[in-house]
Amino acid sequence: MGVKDGSARSRFSAFWARSRWPLLLLLVLLLLGATVVAGMAPHLFSAPKAAPAVPAWQQLPDRLSDTKAVLPLDGEAPVPVPGEVARLLNQTLRPDGPGDISAVVMDASSGDVLFDRAAGAARIPASNMKLLTAVAVLKAMGPEARFTTRVLATDDPSTVVLTGGGDVLLGAGDSDPAAVMGHAGLASLAKETAAKLTAAGVKGPVTVTVDDSLFSGPPLNPAWSLDDVAAGETAPLFPLALNSGRYAPGVTTGPRPQDAAATAAEAFARRLAAAGIEVRPGVERGKGIPANVLAAAESATVSDQVDLMLESSDNFLAEALGRMTAKASGKEATYDGATAAVRQRLGELGLATDAMELADVSGLALGNQVSARQFAEVVRAITSGPDPALRTALDGFPIAGLTGTLDDRYVEAGTAGGAGLVRAKTGTLNTVIALSGYVVDADGRLLVFSFIGNGLEPGAGGNKVAMDRSASVLAACGCRG
């Protein structure tokens, strides 16, 4: 045993002499490797890092949310100090040249005013008017209402009547249930009509007429500038139209059909011919038998139409929704009826309307006079008011830097902080810039605001930037002094 033990020790000593440096080197490499792994995966060997400083509600979402309401994220979130809000906005909310900007910022939950610069002064609001129209039509008709375009028969089996029901977003093709513009399609109406005529033994030729009597009064508002009409900002209004009164859905500028009802009827006649019915040339006006419906197609919901109107600032659609509000309010479907109905519905919400001057419901007229405070109250009614029907307008507010009329704004250093956070309706006329909307600030408090500039230098780019910077200031605001 002794010999064996001595031999083993001798062999181990020889082995250690030969191998100790390679073994030590291997141990060092293993330790270095462990250090590298620890650096690459710190959570395996240390406590998690602290959460980022940006509040959760201002971080990029991992999924799209279904907007049903906007309320303070935390009922205990601090309210900005008015003096600090004023200090910041007085630095950013300045006109680029002549003119002045009135403004108001309110806490959406309490209604407390946090900033007031001539907020009660009557101003030309441009397309911010569409916020009033949105609230009025949702209040009058409800978000799920739809408008129906019908094809009616007459006493003459060879005459059909395309009858307008207020849908100015008709498409030329088949109805598309996933679309807002083109939800109801003339091709689908024509196919259904052709099947009924064929079943009744009507071979043609068939006369197509159009009934646009749902709206009354002049189709063109005398308060509008004819230059704006010629530029395609709007067009004579009828209770049925293709593509919101344009020749094609993707065309948003340039000339428009001057008789949208006749244009739609002519397109329907072509589709009827394509469905196998011989059609006489030309389109006339006439009335059908209401109880004898050959075909019908429903529009997208009122809430979807409101969203499209707000996001794209569609003047033609706004005026059509105003006329339908008038009908639902027991008034004549005229321009005056539309403004009276909007005023009525705003009054029902408890808003003071006596000082308002309403010349149209789209904001194209220079005769409109509404204060920034009134717009902030309307936004507050949408975000936090007691009527859930108004909440459906939330999706229509353009999102800064992402959607609608704000998609190309909030891209420079001074405004980028508001991108994705500010949601607001824009307004632009020659000397007018407006922005009214809402934002959740850095402390989680929901704020509503309205900025309206009048008498501004036409084309001065700094005016939009001033409003965008100011809205971005609110988004970043802790504003506790």
Residues making up the chain, counted from first to last: 481
Token reading at 127: 């397309």
| Set 244, 303, 313, 329: catalytic member | 313
Q: How far apart are CA 471 and CA 418, in angstroms?
A: 7
Task: Cite the DSSP H helix spans in 149-185.
Answer: none
Considering Cα of 55, then 56, then 57, then 61, what sign does the dihedral take?
positive
CA nearest neighbour of 280 among 288, 270, 289: 270
The pairing of strands 206-211 and 159-163 is parallel
CA distance 184 to 172: 9
Is 362 tagged catalytic? no
The residues, ordered by sequence, that sit 6+ positions from 322 with a Cβ below 8 Å of its Cβ are 133, 136, 137, 335, 338, 339, 341, 342, 360, 361, 362
CB 184 within 8 A of CB 243: no
Q: Which amino acid is at 62?
A: D
Catalytic residue among 102, 127, 299, 329: 127
Is 19 among the residues known to form the active site?
no
d(CA 115, CA 107): 10
Tell me if residue 371 is catalytic: no
Catalytic residues: 127, 130, 313
